[in-house]
Structure 1
């Protein structure tokens, strides 16, 4: 097993530094300016065009940032009318716990300068000695400062750039900023080593394959003199296999037909059972219809009788009313009109009850008739299916009888060639082998006298290469194992980081009425692995942060929340950010500034924040630098 010590990072904490001063000479709109900066939060404020961003650009140029060289000619940064410009960054290099941040310098301050000439040439100085750009990179790497990482030096518009770059580039940017790039580099180194081992193994395997081919040639020569007898035996065996192969093929056909016959018979039995059930249901529905018809007929008779009684009672009532109206002595009439009314009401109630019952019976008869129709249709379908299946069974039975007869004939033929043998190959391949064997038998030549010696020499060579191939395989597996261990360690470190960042990110988002998440995508593939941010404002569901879904203010606020959550994990002691609040509303801007101040209480880092806005209700900013432009020249003033 490979020890995980192979991929461990150094646990020793390097002493931290910070920028004490930025000096601009003939740089852009500056004639000469010294900008003192402190540990903690430094806010550079002033109106647009005053020269605020030039300070951050000067810092980037002095540190050798590639972004500045790609975006413009360095000679264009020289103040108009001047031939040369210089920008310098003064670092604190005082000892901490007995060690200096830049160990190979014994001064408490360390100055990195860059000279720009109008002819396009430039050079670097470190503590007033000319150095190469690679040496500047080495010094900054010693301080954990990478000016090309946008999470460390973020110029105007880079917040939008960070939101728009793909998830893979975003993850690599974060890895570098938090000091985890070495894990990725170790993976790439392990992959390169694995590629080398694979190439070595492939080369040996190619030689092994070539040696095997050569050995096969001499083995064939060695075997030829005794091959004829073996070929005759082989031919006999092949003819036996061929005969039984045909029998097995026919046996498989018979088995399939028998299986199909069983399936069809089972299907027929099921159809017969379903048909019997359907016929019973149909008969039952028919009986129910007959019974319902009789009941309806009976109720119609009752209805006629009740309606007749109702009519008679109604007639008597009318006559009685007329008689009473014409009679002088109403009480002398022998007929009781109240009794007739009662009879009429009873007849009317009976009539209504019979009518309701008739309606229910008609509805029930209609439903029963529908069931009867359904059963009749299903009965017809099942009858048709039974006829079709019976025809299929008849056809299969004929085919099965023919196939069984042919199987018996093939068995007799195969037994004449030898006892039964199980054959996996098809008969066409075996027949082709028989033809080849016949050709080999007829085409054998005399064997070479050196065949046995050559065969043995090449056999020894092959064994030697096999041992080397086994060793190459072990080396390749070991390299693969190391690669997997490093991948797992990389994934663990990234996921541990994101777990911590996620909690802080969500807490900060809550303060701006938003929710979101930070997650790693495609963690199993270092080439496709990426960092994805999601955010949702004012109660909306979180969506992936991109250049199209959220507004400019929402993107800026979300990315700032993420950057703030990430700050305590970034290795660089200095960070610079230009106009992060470009698209933010005043409330979110104040919120972000407040979070930056809170960070100052927890970490001894240095922040340079450039903002065109006024600082409202934030008095705790330790260092405020005001920039203004007068008569074409930028000037700075540090607030008391």
Structure 2
């Protein structure tokens, strides 16, 4: 036999966390008033029958609650409720979980199959749980009305099926009689309405005749339009015939005109040929006249060629004489230059000896200048080295200062990072304070609304005892 082995209540009304072990036979919960006995029964009914609805039974100060019912075969049902979630959790004897959501006010069939606990329907408007009895509740059916007991006993033995069938049959008969009466009245009304339209048959016949006449008129009109179009087309053809006759009359002498045109073409071609020959003849005459003038001017051509040969001979002689004269002048200038050079180079041996001495002195001076420059560079390097040696006399102190500066630099970087983090935290703190002030305002407004609701109800939402304004103030102050 399957029975409830344990009940676990978490944040359900006055129960923070409660576990109750049950016996497989009869279980009775006893204890002082206002210690949560009714809450246990209410939690059990909430888990098994999804009653009551809402979330008012969540413990004060908590956001969620649950009731878990564990059976002797290892299966388990957990009913869970929060401000945003409403669900059943079903665990079989292997620990496999199934979640049910969106079931409304009914209990999922899988939950009912596991618990095997259903409410007994006493009549059409009332049901009862025979497995669970509440405080001051009388024995089954004895505290109910006679009609309720009769309906319940009838349902237990199956008589309610016949009663329900009779009720349904009588209701159907009444509905059918009402429908029949309504249909008869509607039929009579329709017949009266149709009597006003008896003339429609005759009107239909007339309409058909009118349609035939209209069709005949339409066909006649189409034929008439077609004849009008043909007549207009014929008139246009006649006009074209008259115009063509006029053109033909005007073109009777066309063959003669064509012959005249041929004669004119031949005469024009002959004229062009003759004109071209005339222009060529005129050009030839001009060439003959030019050639005659040229022959007249070239009568003494032989004498002119002899004179030209003589002139060429004299020209060659003049050219040769001018070249010889210029060469002579150049030779004279060269002689003068050479004489001057000879006069200047009388003491060339002394000059050569002086050149050798000068070259030796020049080499010595060059070496001395190089040595001098090297000496200057060495002196400069020595002076620079002395300056560096003087500056680097405190090299150990500089190394310490460098290490100290590096340490200070690292500390400065850390301080800058801390400063940035501090600014970020301050900004975040300001935002959080703003959010907290808004939340405090919202909480105050919600507490005011809650206070007004409690004052109107005058009932504690946890233990359902009567409360006054002072008790309401205490409850509100606990939230604050």
Q: Shared topology, TM-score over 0.5?
A: no
Task: Indicate the structure with greater strand content.
Answer: 1
Larger Rg: 2
Scaled by the length of structure 1, what TM-score is found? 0.24
Per the normalisation by structure 2, the TM-score is 0.31
Structure with the bigger RCO (C-alpha within 8 Å, sep 6+) is: 1
